[in-house]
């Protein structure tokens, strides 16, 4: 075989492998989605949205878990978003390259991918032990701690994309910094900021580990923020590992619900953000 | 008559300055909050871990006893499980992730690039509990019936492989956990590699094509050397994820506190142990041992993630961003 033929062969071989790699990735996505739909659709009846979680062997739904997830997720977003946006504003506008910003940027990047179960342990030690009981509030706090780094990162990236000419135009009209930020920069970066929040919601709506020992779980309907509260991921965890068929079917239905919600959120976030944040 | 508007202007300016510095301080306080969270996490973990570390000392890291009844705890088995599953996951995900990045930047027609890239990234968006339930009910039985028996048969009689893949086929176990982990970190490695591949100046690549290189030779001798640090940084970011991943592993690892020579045997990881046992832990020492495990996990992932971020930051500086 000539050198040229060998090089061409090696080229098509390795590029063929790269196609294989991409197919491998897509195959997993397809397999997971297909078995979620196959296993989950059967359990997805109206009852799921209308009744609370049943005892083993009885009929029921996931209403308390859905409501609990909604409550804790919204609370976490309400707590975490302002902190994330403010901190991101400092990094992009006031601080830029001062020492605090450099350190915060680094620490935030580390927190962004830190194991979420550690956040759960932290909130357990800091809130649950001190309060003496598990509570939905502690669960929401744990989720909020996960929201902050996501929102901070996207906020900074998006604010930095706003051209300096806009800041200068604002300043030349005599507008103080905060007016420029609030009336020029934020509106210009609005879509990007929304992306950050949506990504954060997508991230926390499937989080289980930080809820296990903060919000715990609850078999019954509860709106009390000071008491344990059910959540979809924690319920899936409990039901999937149980030996009862009905519970496992509900777990699959819940898993399908969460996946659909998360995938929809991340696709919407991508569409309005016009691409990947951080670029 | 003239004095009044000037005075008014001065008070308004002063008011602006006041609000502005207030705003500045509010944003600064939020930025400091991030540091406080990190400090709080470290402090509370250390505080919670002290009783266990004080009782067992250095033994905690090396012993694999895990006996809640006699209150003897050692972290060796979970640490071993965490490291082994993560490294196998990386060994699978790294070549495939780079392959996907090569596909997306060099092979894929531009029309499909965005769609396929997004689809791969959606893998990262699927919550880990979904991987867990899917791994337990779909992947594990499949491996148990169709894959593991043939691995065991094939490995029989070959010195090291025989111990690594010793039966029986449980379905769940270290290898299954590692496989799921590899799928979970795949999108991270692929998307970071793709991003750094795109930073290679077109002129470099075109020069190589100009002297007659094939696409593969350009990737191998221009793109990969140029982006080495970035790819390693991305891989370590993935490793950080794999080390701390909880729910997916908890479902399929089997939660056995034992270091087993076989990869097919059930084991446990740090995060799986905490998730499985924390709410059921009775007694201060038990709880404290689990928090000490959390501290170890946090220390390991912090080091890996910090190294990854520093590498990626160095690459960005070189780019002159």
**Which token pair is A171?**
């300043």
Percent composition of chain A: helix, strand, coil (DSSP 3-state, to 5): 75, 0, 25
Q: Which of A87, A213, A263 sits opposite B27 (nearest CB)?
A: A87
**Residue B247: closest CA among chain A residues belongs to which residue?**
A209
Lowest mean pLDDT among A210-214, A264-268, B164-168, B214-218: B164-168
* pLDDT of A275: 47
CA-closest candidate to residue B196, choices A157, A192, A279: A279
Testing the interface with A: which of B127, B140, B199 to mutate, by most A Cβ within 10 A? Answer: B127
3-class secondary-structure state, position A56: coil
The pLDDT-based confidence of A96 (bands split at 50, 70, 90) is confident
Closest approach of A248 to chain B, Cα-based (Å): 10
DSSP state of B278: G
B31 contact A CB<8A: yes
Name B32's bridge partners: none
CB atoms within 10 A of CB B152: 18
What percent of chain B clears pLDDT 90, i.e. is strictly above it? 59
CB contact under 8 A, B104 and A22: yes
CB contact under 8 A, B32 and A104: yes
Task: Quick: pLDDT tens for B88-116.
Answer: 999 999 999 999 999 999 998 888 888 89
CB contact under 8 A, B24 and A177: yes
Q: Which of B133, B215, B247 sits opposite A251 (nearest CB)?
A: B133
Mean pLDDT of A48-65: 88
Per-chain mean pLDDT for chain A: 91
* pLDDT of A57: 81
Asked whether residue A220 carries a pLDDT value surpassing 90, the answer given is no
Chain B segment 110-129 residues within 8 A of A by beta carbon are: 116, 118-123, 125-129
**Residue A81: closest CA among chain B residues belongs to which residue?**
B30
**Which token pair is B286?**
């038990």
Q: Which of A11, A119, A263 sits opposite B216 (nearest CB)?
A: A11
Residue A111: HSE in the Cβ half-sphere, 13 Å Cα cutoff: 31
**Residue B130: closest CA among chain A residues belongs to which residue?**
A255
Instruction: Tell me the chain A residues in contact with residue B106 when contact means C-beta distances shorter than 8 Å.
Output: 15, 18
* pLDDT of A278: 39
What percent of chain B clears pLDDT 70, i.e. is strictly above it? 98
Distance CA B274, CA B278 (A): 5
Closest approach of B185 to chain A, Cα-based (Å): 11
Instruction: Tell me the chain B residues in contact with residue A205 when contact means C-beta distances shorter than 8 Å.
Output: 127
Predicted TM-score (pTM) of the model is: 0.92
Distance CA A25, CA A32 (A): 11
Task: Quick: pLDDT tens for B169-204.
Answer: 888 999 999 999 999 999 999 999 999 999 899 999
Distances (CA, A) of B211 to A134, B155, B206, B214, B219: 67, 46, 9, 10, 14
* pLDDT of B2: 54
E strand or H helix at B67, and its extent?
Answer: strand B66-67
Distances (CA, A) of A203 to A32, A150, A222, B60: 18, 9, 24, 34
B305 contact A CB<8A: yes
CB contact under 8 A, A86 and B136: no
Instruction: Tell me the chain A residues in contact with residue B119 when contact means C-beta distances shorter than 8 Å.
Output: 25-26, 29
CB contact under 8 A, B103 and A18: yes
Distance CA A116, CA B241 (A): 10
Distance CA A97, CA A103 (A): 10
Per-chain mean pLDDT for chain B: 90
**ipTM for the assembly:** 0.90
Asked whether residue A276 carries a pLDDT value surpassing 90, the answer given is no
CB contact under 8 A, B251 and A82: no
CB atoms within 10 A of CB B301: 25
The torsion angles phi and psi of A121, rounded to 5 degrees, stand at -60, -40
B196 contact A CB<8A: no
Task: Quick: pLDDT tens for A190-212.
Answer: 999 999 999 999 999 989 999 99
* pLDDT of A47: 87
Asked whether residue A274 carries a pLDDT value surpassing 80, the answer given is no
Look-up of token digits 């569409």: A271
Burial of A165 (0-12, 13-18, 19+ CB in 10 A): exposed
**Is residue A153 a contact partner of residue A108, using CB atoms and an 8 Å limit?**
yes
Task: Quick: pLDDT tens for B273-313.
Answer: 999 999 888 888 999 999 999 999 999 999 998 888 888 88
Asked whether residue B125 carries a pLDDT value surpassing 70, the answer given is yes
Contact pairs from chain A to chain B, CB under 8 Å: 273
Asked whether residue B9 carries a pLDDT value surpassing 90, the answer given is no
Contacts for B185 with CB less than 8 Å, ≥ 6 apart: B89, B90, B93, B97, B238, B239, B241, B242
B201 contact A CB<8A: no
Mean pLDDT of B15-39: 93
The pLDDT-based confidence of A15 (bands split at 50, 70, 90) is very high
CB contact under 8 A, A109 and B128: no
**Is residue B104 a contact partner of residue A26, using CB atoms and an 8 Å limit?**
no
The pLDDT-based confidence of A269 (bands split at 50, 70, 90) is confident
Mean pLDDT of B7-17: 85
CB contact under 8 A, B23 and A178: yes
């Amino acid at each position: 075989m000539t050198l040229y033929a060998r090089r061409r062969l090696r080229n098509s071989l390795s590029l063929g492998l790269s196609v294989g790699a991409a197919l491998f990735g897509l195959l997993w996505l397809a397999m997971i989605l297909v078995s979620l739909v196959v296993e989950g659709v059967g359990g997805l009846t109206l009852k799921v949205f209308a009744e609370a979680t049943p005892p083993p062997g009885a009929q029921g739904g996931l209403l308390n878990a859905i409501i609990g997830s909604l409550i804790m997720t919204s609370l976490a977003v309400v707590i975490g978003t302002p902190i994330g946006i403010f901190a991101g504003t400092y990094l992009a506008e006031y601080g830029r390259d001062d020492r605090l910003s450099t350190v915060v940027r680094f620490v935030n990047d580390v927190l962004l991918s830190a194991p979420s179960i550690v956040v759960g342990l932290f909130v357990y030690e800091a809130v649950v032990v001190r309060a003496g009981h598990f509570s939905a509030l502690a669960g929401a706090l744990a989720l909020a701690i996960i929201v902050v780094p996501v929102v901070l990162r996207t906020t900074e990236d998006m604010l930095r994309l706003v051209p300096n000419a806009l800041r200068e135009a604002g300043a030349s009209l005599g507008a103080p910094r905060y007016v420029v930020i609030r009336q020029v920069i934020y509106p210009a970066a609005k879509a990007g900021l929304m992306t950050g929040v949506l990504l954060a919601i997508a991230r926390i709506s499937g989080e289980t580990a930080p809820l296990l020992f903060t919000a715990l779980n609850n078999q019954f309907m509860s709106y009390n923020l000071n008491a344990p509260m059910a959540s979809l991921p924690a319920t899936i965890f409990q039901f999937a590992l149980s030996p009862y068929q009905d519970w496992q079917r509900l777990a699959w239905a819940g898993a399908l619900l969460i996946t659909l919600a998360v995938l929809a959120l991340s696709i919407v976030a991508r569409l309005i953000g016009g691409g990947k944040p951080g670029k | 008559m003239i004095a009044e508007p000037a005075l008014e202007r001065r008070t308004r300016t002063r008011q602006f300055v006041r609000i502005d510095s207030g705003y500045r301080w509010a944003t600064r306080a939020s930025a400091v909050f991030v540091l406080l969270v990190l400090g709080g996490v470290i402090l509370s973990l250390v505080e919670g871990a002290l009783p266990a570390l004080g009782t067992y000392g250095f033994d905690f890291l090396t012993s694999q006893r895990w006996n809640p009844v006699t209150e003897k705890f050692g972290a060796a088995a979970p640490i071993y499980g965490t490291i082994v599953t993560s490294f196998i996951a990386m060994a699978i995900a790294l070549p495939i992730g780079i392959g996907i990045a090569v596909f997306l930047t060099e092979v894929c027609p531009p029309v499909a690039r965005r769609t396929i890239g997004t689809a791969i990234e959606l893998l990262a968006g699927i919550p880990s509990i979904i991987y867990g339930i899917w791994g337990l009910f779909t992947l594990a039985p499949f491996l148990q019936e169709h894959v593991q028996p043939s691995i065991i048969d094939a490995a029989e009689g070959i010195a090291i492989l025989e111990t690594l893949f010793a039966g029986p086929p449980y379905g769940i176990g270290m290898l299954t956990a590692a496989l799921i982990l590899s799928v979970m970190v795949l999108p991270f490695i692929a998307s970071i590699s793709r991003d750094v591949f795109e930073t290679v100046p077109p002129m470099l690549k075109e020069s190589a094509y100009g002297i007659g290189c094939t696409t593969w030779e350009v990737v191998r001798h221009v793109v990969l050397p140029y982006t080495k640090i970035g790819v390693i940084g991305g891989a370590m970011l993935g490793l950080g994820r794999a080390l701390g991943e909880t729910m997916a592993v908890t479902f399929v690892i089997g939660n056995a506190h034992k270091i087993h020579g076989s990869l097919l045997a059930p084991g446990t990881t740090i995060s799986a142990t905490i998730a499985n046992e924390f709410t059921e832990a009775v007694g201060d020492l038990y709880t404290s041992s689990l928090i000490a495990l959390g501290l170890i996990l946090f220390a390991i992932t912090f080091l890996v993630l910090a190294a990854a971020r520093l590498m990626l930051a160095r690459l960005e500086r070189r780019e002159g961003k």
